[in-house]
Chains A and B, each alone.
Chain A
């Protein structure tokens, strides 16, 4: 398949401007004749739905939770970047663009990323106008902080709850449109299938989670904003309901899945402490600004941390990376923690390292540390029941964000015409690694300022043409398929629960397709996943009826998708024989044991095409061309 990213020509700075001029418009009176389906109500979905409805389109919105306000964007803590340069410290649109593309290890499109940096400023303006209570300084102007190792202070924040406040802002804009009848909101609905008519996305089948009924909806375009697939690891910082289902059903209908092996493992999470654990909690990585990371030098040192003298402590980040120390990027910090634990130096359960604030408390006083990190220390104590002011924290990396997603062009449209994909669900802007405080920016940028323009370019060709309705045979066909599948799932009366199998799948991926991978491990993982998929269809058990509100049925369906998707992820990792962004391919290292990227072989987007159940997907490549930045190897020595 020939992949065209459709990035407009001309200088970087004028691409978006020119593209907006060249895009066909739908005039105001005609917009109300078009129906748009939006699936997902996180930052991308809510902002898109509200903005499209404001323009006059008829919008139908679907979410799996009981309210659009619950989407997992709400849990983002740190902040959102924008190139405002309010701090006068050298930031610019070009710098934000450069940092983002370099941070992504040169595996994203220049044109898309530059546009994101351009619209970042509009996003902040919009959020403030909605009443988002960003932090302010004494003069009443917006406060900024430096975040995630950035050398400029460009991050806007609302305490440690930035995601919540931005989402509630987008939710309020969406609610306003629901209130005046421009948006029809369907809660507790899970997308089961994408419906294509003559090759174009024309509707969806959803399951009403309250009564198990399947419902069909037709539209002129479908927008997916259904988030990432981090829960493929079972344990992650994602919410319980986050899943790959909607994106995967689109993939099975022909949409390409790009770079699925690009997942981000966040270094500062609270470690796993038991087999019962259902989720991992992230703590802002700002903790590494003052905390020192260490493990005991000797294996099997069972002394309490405060009893281990300086000479017996290994501050491995400070020793290995004297220039950056504890502030190395997320992937480097994560990988080194795993490496120390693999050597048997881990603390607690063996899968944790210390993050110690004793020196910071001695230097700055407890009050200062409390002011900076009080809420995080409190959160830690609530979960672990240890006081980080007295005893070093324990941290361990966890799956946090997925850069991979459905392939989209510059218009955020997938290779399936009429199917648009926004936010974490697409692969677009973060390459092989996402910078801190960029996810919120991308979700809102896609929804507020990209899709309102680009969707018109697609819809304008359909003006006056006959509408697809749900009596089209394509809906019936899709309905039959999802019904058959549901019956297969309800017939599962084996001996293992959904959670139990999901946990096993998560471990296979975590061990073999996580921060570090190699060919032998990945090949083995592929076989293990296939075997586990058979085990699921033979030995899983699904309790209760599908006619009631029954969370177990939803979970089983999601796991079935994950079990197929996991294999695509592993295939992608196998193919990419380079170390890049968040992951280390063990066969591709420098002599010093650092990640080695291979631009001559892998400077492309790997977009996978469904080939049928149990068959290996087909690889399509979109070469990445860099005209404005020079590709450099990252070094933190």
Chain B
């Protein structure tokens, strides 16, 4: 049932990467439990604007859990308390009247802070640019059905391909590692015949770029899997490790 609740928000405010930043406290009263988390922030921002104050800056776009643009740490958890849910799909009915909610940006060395809750995740794009593709030009494709793919592999590839690149995995990881993100793309393409010819070099290039961007290593904490709004499995990391080892031994790429 719809009801309204009153909340205390502790929101990280920081003008830019050089600024020190800190928590500011806001009261959010009469919050409808039908609101999404971002709609709740919209309402707070409307009030801040009318009061002549600066609204809280946070990245968001599709608001239906697929673009991967939103995401904050809510009460210590990436994307908040609901499992398999992006922040834009989290509804206020998951909170109780009188709750205090701490809202912080992703804190990852490789994601430079832009302002307040918005961070720069271009490191993820750099990793894809290093090898997260099949090298096929437009026009080079053969008939779509020429190559049958075992249904099980197609399904596993789709599971991995569901990654939205939001950054929650790195934000949840104690080492700020991007292994779940990298492994999802490596797995998707390694599972499909189209991706096989480049599987080795892809794994190596993507992992090296990940290291260069300043992400940490995986120590099997499994926090990434827990935080992932698309439920990407850490078995993908095992598959990445296999590809990487195979590649390191057998490849001419150093």
Which among B34, B120, B134 is the interface contact of A273 at CB below 8 angstroms?
B34
Q: How many residues of B contact A (CB 8 A)?
A: 78
B138/A66 in contact, CB under 8 A: no
Chain A residues with CB below 8 A from B93, complex form: 385
Binds A, one of B145-153, B172-180, B215-223, B243-251: B145-153
Cβ contacts under 8 Å, A65 to chain B = 61, 67, 69
B99 to chain A, nearest CB (A): 18
- CB of B71 to closest CB in A, whole Å: 11
Complex CA–CA separation, A138 to B215 (angstroms): 40
Bound: A68/B126 CA distance, A: 12
Contact (Cβ within 8 A) B115 A136: no
Whether A67 contacts B121 in the complex (CB less than 8 A), given A125-B141, A136-B149, A171-B128, comes out as: yes
Given contacts A131-B134, A276-B42, contact A136 B57 (CB under 8 A): no
Cβ-based interface call for B212 (8 A) = no
What distance in Å separates the Cβ of B50 from its nearest Cβ neighbour in chain A? 7
Residues of A within 8 A of B67 (CB): 65, 70-72, 74-75, 239
List the B side residues contacting A550 at CB < 8 Å.
Answer: 54, 57
Residues of B within 8 Å of A274, CB to CB, are 32, 34-35
Produce 1/0 per residue, B34-60, CB < 8 A to A.
111011001100101110111101011
A104 at the interface (CB under 8 A from B): no
* Cross-chain contact A175 with B133 (CB below 8 angstroms): yes
A128-B141, A133-B154 given; A281·B43 CB < 8 A = no
Nearest A residue (CB) for B85: A382
The reply to whether A125 and B144 contact each other, CB–CB distance below 8 Å, is yes
Instruction: Find residues 116-130 in chain B having any chain A CB closer than 8 Å to their own CB.
Output: 118, 120-122, 124-125, 128-130
One digit per residue, 1 when the CB lies within 8 angstroms of any chain A CB and 0 when it does not, for chain B 75-91 equals 00000000001000101
A67 cross-chain contacts in B, Cβ below 8 A: 121-122, 124-125, 165
From A69, A126, A185, contact of B141 by CB (8 A): A126
Chain B 15-42: CB-based contact to A (< 8 A → 1; otherwise 0): 1100000000000000010111011001
Q: Are B43 and A382 in contact (CB under 8 A)?
A: no
Interface flags for A217-244 (1: CB within 8 Å of B; 0: not) read 0000000000000000000010111000
Given A136-B151, A179-B130: A382 in contact with B46 (beta carbons within 8 A): no
Give, as a whole number of angstroms, the nearest-CB distance from A40 to chain B: 14
Once bound together, how far apart are the Cα atoms of A167 and B133, in whole Å?
12
B189 at the interface (CB under 8 A from A): yes
In the assembled complex, the Cα of A550 lies from the Cα of B142 at a distance in Å of: 47
Write the chain B residue with the least CB distance to A500: B46
In Å, the complex CA distance between A385 and B94 comes to 11
Asked if A460 is at the interface (CB within 8 A of a chain B CB), the reply is: no
Contacts of A172 in B (CB 8 A): 128, 132-134
State the majority secondary structure of interface residues on B: loop
Residue of B68, B133, B141, B194 with most partner-chain A CB within 10 A? B133
Nearest CB of chain B from residue A493's CB, rounded to whole Å = 8
Chain A residue nearest to B50 in the complex (CB): A497
Chain A nearest CB from B83 CB (Å) reads 11
Of chain A, the residue at the smallest CB distance from B90 is A382
Give the shortest distance, in Å, between B26 (CB) and chain A (any CB). 15
A588 at the interface (CB under 8 A from B): no
Instruction: Flag the segment in B100-108, B155-163, B231-239 that touches A.
Output: B155-163
Say whether B141 contacts A131, CB under 8 Å. Answer: no
A66 touching B59 by the CB < 8 A rule?
A: yes
**Inter-chain contacts of A129 with B (CB < 8 A):** 134, 136, 140-142, 194
Q: Give the interface of B toward A (CB within 8 A).
A: 2, 15-16, 32, 34-36, 38-39, 42-43, 46, 48-50, 52-55, 57, 59-64, 66-69, 85, 89, 91, 93, 114-115, 118, 120-122, 124-125, 128-145, 147-151, 154-155, 157-158, 161-162, 164-165, 188-189, 192, 194-195
4 closest Cβ contacts across the A-B interface?
A140-B148, A129-B141, A179-B129, A172-B133
A-B contacts, 17 listed (Cβ < 8 Å)? A66-B121, A70-B69, A71-B67, A126-B139, A129-B140, A130-B133, A131-B195, A140-B151, A159-B158, A161-B162, A172-B134, A173-B136, A176-B133, A240-B60, A383-B89, A541-B50, A543-B52
